[in-house]
Every structure is written in structure tokens, then in C-alpha cells.
Amino acid sequence: MVSRAELFRSCVSDLELYGADSAQFDTLCIFQDMLGDKNPLFKPAEPVPPDIEARIRDLVHARTQGQPLQYLLGKWEFFGYPFFVGSGVLIPRPDTEILIEQVLDICKAQYSGAPRIADLCSGSGCIAVTLKNLLPHADVCAVEISDTAIGFIQKNAQLNHADIRIVKGDVLSVQTADVLGSFDIIVSNPPYLSQQDMDSLQAEVRCEPSLALFGGQDGLDFYRAMTPLWKNHLNPNGWLCYEYGLGQHDDVKSILAGNGFQNITLRRDLAGIIRTAAAQITEVI
């Protein structure tokens, strides 16, 4: 039987051949998952049973074909919580954790009770479920159009014991908004990649659903359409919180300001990119 250390070296070199810049990290994640051991290399001489070796090699092979690591593992962490992920759903990104922090800060300052929160374009449900985990009294609703993604939201809500409402709907439709009523906070990480971004996607990102990525020619279609629609579904002094992409902050800010939002606050992600906006509606429309 091959030892853990031998197999590790062989997998890393296969991944390096394919050009992965995270060959060691990817191999470690696959080992942790397949061997059920957080520190698999603490026992380098331990033999790897042939069936497990075969599964590890299959995953490494799939990785060399450009499959995202997160899809291969089937689970990924967001804000310290576990989420099921797989084909048909956007993989939660650390950038989005800033959006969670921004909502938490608004809740701390303004909503000590049970805020009503909607997460639009919920995807895996990582935003809705994390907010419910952190704000157990909040009434959280996740809105999503894709049946595949809704399946993931349901599983992720169960996995995290998060009692959220899951609604299938198009966030650009008046009917969806009317059914849902009004909220204190509406949060969204909508598709925001431009046509140019889509044309130059990394192989891994090309495996993710374009429905969750493509935001029209300049990437801003969702902000233009969602802002006027959903501002009518905010309670007085309520907040709209968005994630957006690199270089989109001025446009998103002017869309918000043009729709009467005030107190617009932008935040940077861990990479220093201006990534989120929170904006308050101070008049009843």
C-alpha cells in the first residue's frame, strides 16, 4: 500500500503538472476529506487503503480537468459554517463575508429585536443561513429562481438548523416582491460579471452557473432593476445592502443615490477591493 506521504507527493505533482497554483492546498483538502483526518500528514508513513487511494486519485484527476475543488469536496465553509455546494450553485466566496459584517453592524446599531431580512439571489443560501445563525431572532427569507439552488438552500438550512423561509421567485418581478411584503434589511449578492468578465473566466469559474454570474453587458443590470423595485419593499429607515464587483462601486452608489437612498456606506473586502454598499431609505415612498 502507498503511504500517505508518497501519495501526497504524487497528487501534488499531478496537480502542478496541470498548472494549479494551489496544488498543496488542494491535495491537503482532498486528503482531509477522504481520510477524515484534519492533519493527515501527521502520520506520513500510514498506508492508504487501495479504495481510498483510488477515490483520492479520481478527485485529483477531476481537479486537473478544471473542476472546482469545492464542487469535488461537496462542502465548503462560509463565515465558519458548513455549506453543501455542487454543480448548479455559486460557491460561497470570502468576499461575501464583508456583506454579512455590514448587515450585522446595521442590526447592532438599529435592530435589537427581530428584524425582517430578505436575501435576494440566495444561491447556496450562505447569506440567509449565516444571518439566521448569527441573528436567531431575525425573520430571514431567501429568494432564489433556480430549482437546483433551492435544493441546496434547503439542505444548507437543515445542515445549520436555520429556520428560514425559502421562496422560489424572480427577484426582478413585481409579483415576487408583492408576495414577500416588506423588510427592514434587503441583502443581495446578485450576478454582477460583465460580458468582458464572462469572456475571460478562469476554468473553475466557468463550471459555475452563468445564471449566478452574468449581470448583463456592464454587469450592472440587477442593481438597475432591483433597486427601484425593492426600495418599495423596505420599511421606513430600512437598508439595502449589495455586494458588487471590482470597479463597480461608483455606479452602484449612483444607482442607490438616484433612487433616493441615503447614508450610503461602502466597504472593502480582505483584498482591499471596494466590495459592498449599505444604503438607507429614509423616506416612505
Verify binding: residue 88, ligand GLN, rule CB under 6 A.
no
Verify binding: residue 155, ligand GLN, rule CB under 6 A.
no
Minimum Å gap between C-beta 69 and ligand GLN is 15
Minimum Å gap between C-beta 85 and ligand GLN is 13
Of the residues 2, 52, 134, 205, which one makes contact with ligand GLN according to CB under 6 A: 205
Minimum Å gap between C-beta 212 and ligand GLN is 6
**CB closer to ligand GLN, 90 vs 185:** 90
Minimum Å gap between C-beta 190 and ligand GLN is 6
Counting every residue written for the chain, the total comes to 285
**CB closer to ligand GLN, 27 vs 70:** 70
Verify binding: residue 157, ligand GLN, rule CB under 6 A.
no
Minimum Å gap between C-beta 18 and ligand GLN is 21
Around Cβ 87, how many Cβ atoms within 10 Å?
11
Of the residues 115, 191, 276, 278, which one makes contact with ligand GLN according to CB under 6 A: 191
Dihedrals phi, psi of 90, to nearest 5 degrees: -70, 135
**CB closer to ligand GLN, 214 vs 261:** 214
Three-state secondary-structure class, residue 242: strand
**β-strand 261-268 against 234-243: which pairing, if any?**
unpaired
Verify binding: residue 193, ligand GLN, rule CB under 6 A.
yes
Residues 211-250 that bind ligand GLN (CB under 6 A): 213
Query: Which of 238, 201, 215 minimizes the C-alpha distance to 106?
Result: 238
C-alpha dihedral (255, 257, 261, 263), degrees to nearest 10: 120
Burial of 160-188, coded b for 16+ CB within 10 Å and e otherwise, reads bebebebbeeebbeeebbeebeebbbbbb
Verify binding: residue 192, ligand GLN, rule CB under 6 A.
yes
For residue 14, give every residue at least 6 positions away whose Cβ sits within 8 Å of its Cβ, in sequence order, or none: 60, 61, 64
For residue 135, give every residue at least 6 positions away whose Cβ sits within 8 Å of its Cβ, in sequence order, or none: 104, 107, 115, 117
Of the residues 55, 57, 61, 93, which one makes contact with ligand GLN according to CB under 6 A: 93
Tally: H helices and E strands in the chain: 12, 9
Contacts with ligand GLN, residue ranges (CB under 6 A): 93, 95, 189-193, 205, 213
